[in-house]
Structure 1
Amino acid sequence: MSSAETTFDPSSLPVAQIESLRFKTNQMIESIKALQMTIDFHPTAISAWPDILSKYNLLLSQTHNFSSSLTTPLPSAAAARVNGAGPSSSSSPFEKIALHPRSSVTDIQLDTEIIPLLRNQQTTDVLNMENETVRRLSEHMVTRGSLGVLTGVPIPPPPGATSFGTEYEDVLQECAQIRGDHDRRADRAV
């Protein structure tokens, strides 16, 4: 292997574009936090729909802008192609960048930080939050959601009928009713 292949030339990096991406990433993080604060602000009621929608639209716009920045060729290369002097194929400056850590990664870091990102697996915190959300929702449902199906808790039967236990169809019907009620409230609020 030649030394030209193993040396790194930092001047070949599109530093201005990377800094721009970092700035856009920080903007998106702040927008996510603002949206989360807006949603979590009132524990007993949801915030105004137009406020949530405007923050969501801002986040969507920033995400689109970030995505476009990743696929756009360098400005100098685009200008050269317009004048006919540059190569005909357009490519993003980020397509050929490979990141590699300067120091070795421990097995624990690899297992807990890197592999979940590469495999797009949910972290333990996300799974715990999801389980907690399902549990809280099921506490407010007549069918008790999937917990009612798994534990065999019967649904209170209508007068004159007998109950045999909760089925998945019952849970789906109740979820459809909740969704319909929510959509009607949202339509009325807008």
Structure 2
Amino acid sequence: MSLSRKRKKELKRLRSSAEELWGNQQHVLDHANSVAREASRQLGALTREEVAPRVRDGYQSYVQPGVDATRAFARGAGKVVDRTVLPAVGSAIGSVLAIGDIANDTRVRKALSRVSPALVPQKKKSGFGTYLAIGAGVVAAGAVAYAVWQTFRADDELWVSDDEPETPSEAAAV
């Protein structure tokens, strides 16, 4: 390829200008990388010095007391259930099972058949009454659970201060 001298000079100038531009771009990229590293370092320091302590203080001020109160409430409720509800339910179930055992005893059946043959229960299939009794038991268990929940829930509106000031109409009535 034969180029004129003029073209060779122009190409040489263009090449040197492109190399200079490439060098400037490399310098700009190096400077941008150093700025990004410094920004990252400053962000880490800000996080350690400002953000982390605020998050820790907020957790200790707002979240931790609620967690502690909930834990204390759950322990207290568990103790009450262990002391009162479970023994009552256990004794009721034990009584029902004892009555069932007595009713199924062959000696009791023979004694009842001697007294009155009509009193001896005949084995029947499960009817509507059985399902009605099961439904009533489920409703009763739900009612007991609701009563326990109402008993143990924290309701601040129920408490009235003992030293409330009297209103003028109450003072005149006395």
Q: Give the TM bin, normalised by the shorter chain.
A: under 0.3
| Larger Rg, first or second structure (1 or 2) | 2
Report which structure shows greater RCO (CA 8 Å, sep ≥6): 1
- TM-score (ref. length: structure 2): 0.26
Could you say which structure has the higher helix fraction?
Answer: 2
